[in-house]
Amino acid sequence: MPEGDTAWRTAHHLHEALAGQVLTRTDFRVPEFATLDLAGQTVDEAVSRGKHLLIRAGRHSIHTHLKMEGAWHIQPLDASWRRPAHTARVVLQTPTTQAIGFSLGITEVLDRATESATLSYLGPDLLGPDWDLDEAVRRVTSDPTTPVFVALHDQRNLAGFGNEYVNEICFLAGLLPTRPVADIADIRRVIDRGRTMIRANRERPRRTFTGNTRKGQNEWVFARAGQPCMRCGTTILRGELGDAPTRMRNTFWCPSCQT
């Protein structure tokens, strides 16, 4: 599941492949930018901002978001695509390399002068150079009645955590997802521990919260409803929680380990 660490790692690979290279061909397969041609522009850098990706070239910034199914593939020009062509949303080519964005949830090209304004709603970036724990704590605690799961998931509070991280953070902190922020004695420590986890996972091809990278053993509760808790044996439960009907997320918890 793409989260902040996936975006960071994707940006790192895109930067390695494209930075300093001249674009020889661009193909934006979304109506609004279908006629835009950035061929001849030099790629300055690729960076992540929370779960968002930015490829900066000249005065343009190619803004994409992986959402649930998206991925960027980087490969030689003559290599066959590993996903169906109809799922491609953007194709960038240099003299030696092609980068294809498949099934992207967001694909748009911004003027770099307006890039900051477009993403200004995001909270402090968990993997960014300007991470600000004090500001993250201020935002997360701004509404004390908010369930901790919702507060940590809200990208306006801090940018980078998704469902998997928030469920695992709540388990490791011993907190029910529904626990109001006001009832948590040290939310600062919870946030800081979560940041330590996402930093540790950012270069791993498979993230882990348990210390074991084997599939099925790398998560304590996420997507393990009906299975025994690996710590106490109690059956993991599943529910839904969100701050609006359109933003309901799956929650997973151990009713014994979390209160």
Please, which residues have CB within 8 angstroms of residue 93's CB and are 6 or more apart in sequence? 23, 24, 25, 26, 77, 99
Extract the tokens encoding 47. 């960076």
Residue 245 has pLDDT above 80, yes or no: no
d(CA 159, CA 51): 7
| Cβ atoms of residues 211 and 182 within 8 Å | no
- What are 195-222's pLDDT values in tens digits? 999 999 999 989 999 999 998 899 999 9
Q: Is 17 helix (H, G, I), strand (E, B) or coil?
A: helix
| Cβ atoms of residues 145 and 182 within 8 Å | yes
- What are 110-131's pLDDT values in tens digits? 999 999 999 999 999 999 999 9
Which residues are designated catalytic?
2-3, 51
- What are 47-101's pLDDT values in tens digits? 999 999 999 999 999 999 999 999 999 999 999 999 999 999 999 999 999 999 9
Per-residue DSSP letter, 32 = G
- Ordered domains of the chain (ranges, CATH): 4-118 (3.20.190.10), 133-253 (1.10.8.50)
Mean pLDDT value of segment 138-143: 97
Mean pLDDT value of segment 153-166: 97
- What are 20-51's pLDDT values in tens digits? 999 999 999 999 999 999 999 999 999 999 99
Residue 1 has pLDDT above 80, yes or no: no
Residue burial 57-90, b: 16+ Cβ < 10 Å; e: rest: beebbbbbbbeeebbbebeeeeeeeeeeeebbbb
Predicted TM-score of the model (pTM): 0.94
Given this model, what pLDDT does residue 145 score? Answer: 96
